[in-house]
Homo-oligomer: A and B are copies of this chain.
């Protein structure tokens, strides 16, 4: 009838009385057993096994100065394999340091991010790792976080000077665009995100720089910067290829736009729609790119490594080995030609 089933978790007192010792002896045994007689240690461990006792970590961390062993991680979209890998990297390094991660998904919603951060702090996390949304950053200011260190990943937040791990978005987009220009293309379309999205802005800048440097004209009518999902990207690619003067190549600033563009190109091939079969450069890797019906150059990077770097930065902060001022790590990207 009641909600609780069976026995609740045994406490250290129950273990102690079963082993015929004091709670302190149990505590000391579980802490490594220094200055506890071996026979008592054995009796304690036997009682622990028999009762199925686990230390209550929440009670342990109640004592101030004691770390909770939890790292709060908030990412924007777990369904994106990129962030799945990122979370994995964070989890790995956290586990190496004996910590667990509490994970929340913001879905690009600033309100949800705010909630998550509050909750994480309420749970006494030792640190925070965040892929920030583009909303305001008031809730991330140091005075709001108390002494909980924060690391940003993938994106920076204006007016917030904290440790950050980024990709070399500008350089990658620059080099990717150059590879198209080197192949003789001059009319190159752009598919990407709004400039309010940090990476969207940076990747556009790389594209722009390469185009300008080589004297290739930038035509706003073949630049689409507001697609967040595959369907929108498909539509944008369609419009671009239906342009009276269509591009001969397309730079796609992220995975979603690449998939959308390829869907549209595939459709045209199947349906026999005339017009160019544009070459593609994709920021973000995807599987089987080598089997695509048009050549796809991939700007690849390691999301898992990005997660590992973020966690490494955080633990440097926690262990006091970090520089006084905020550090930014910018991870290189690689270009893979078809």
What string of 1s and 0s marks CB contacts (under 8 Å) between A31-68 and chain B? 00000000000000000000010111111011011001
The interface size of chain A toward B, counting residues with CB under 8 Å, comes to 68
* Extra A-B contacts (10), CB below 8 Å, given A58-B62, A91-B105, A287-B287: A3-B319, A7-B147, A52-B146, A56-B124, A78-B91, A83-B84, A91-B103, A91-B104, A101-B102, A263-B290
Is there an interface contact between A142 and B6, defined as CB atoms closer than 8 Å? yes
Within 8 A of B (CB), among A74-90: 78-81, 83-85, 87-88
- Which residues of B sit under 8 angstroms from A171, Cβ to Cβ? none
Stretch at the interface among A114-122, A208-216, A218-226: A114-122
In the complex, A198 has a CB within 8 A of chain B: no
In the complex, A233 has a CB within 8 A of chain B: no
Report the separation of the CA atoms of residues A91 and B81 in the bound assembly, to the nearest whole angstrom: 16
Is there an interface contact between A102 and B102, defined as CB atoms closer than 8 Å? yes
Report the separation of the CA atoms of residues A70 and B72 in the bound assembly, to the nearest whole angstrom: 13
User: Given A79-B85, A263-B288, A287-B286 in contact, is the A123-B143 Cβ separation under 8 Å?
Assistant: no
Copies of this subunit: 2
Is there an interface contact between B291 and A266, defined as CB atoms closer than 8 Å? yes
Is there an interface contact between A103 and B103, defined as CB atoms closer than 8 Å? yes
In the complex, A318 has a CB within 8 A of chain B: yes
- Which residues of B sit under 8 angstroms from A122, Cβ to Cβ? 54-57
Is there an interface contact between A57 and B119, defined as CB atoms closer than 8 Å? yes
Report the separation of the CA atoms of residues A4 and B64 in the bound assembly, to the nearest whole angstrom: 11
Report the separation of the CA atoms of residues A149 and B55 in the bound assembly, to the nearest whole angstrom: 18
- Which residues of B sit under 8 angstroms from A149, Cβ to Cβ? 5
Which of the listed residues A10, A65, A87 has the most CB atoms from chain B within 10 Å of its own CB?
A87
Is there an interface contact between B59 and A6, defined as CB atoms closer than 8 Å? no
In the complex, A304 has a CB within 8 A of chain B: yes
Is there an interface contact between A291 and B304, defined as CB atoms closer than 8 Å? no
Report the separation of the CA atoms of residues A304 and B79 in the bound assembly, to the nearest whole angstrom: 8
In the complex, A92 has a CB within 8 A of chain B: yes
Is there an interface contact between B78 and A84, defined as CB atoms closer than 8 Å? yes
Query: What are some 24 contacts across the A-B interface (CB < 8 A)?
Result: A4-B65, A4-B147, A5-B147, A6-B147, A9-B124, A56-B62, A58-B59, A58-B68, A62-B62, A70-B123, A78-B91, A79-B304, A81-B84, A100-B103, A100-B104, A102-B103, A262-B288, A262-B291, A266-B288, A266-B290, A287-B287, A288-B292, A291-B292, A291-B293
| A105 closest partner in B (C-beta) | B91
Is there an interface contact between B9 and A121, defined as CB atoms closer than 8 Å? yes
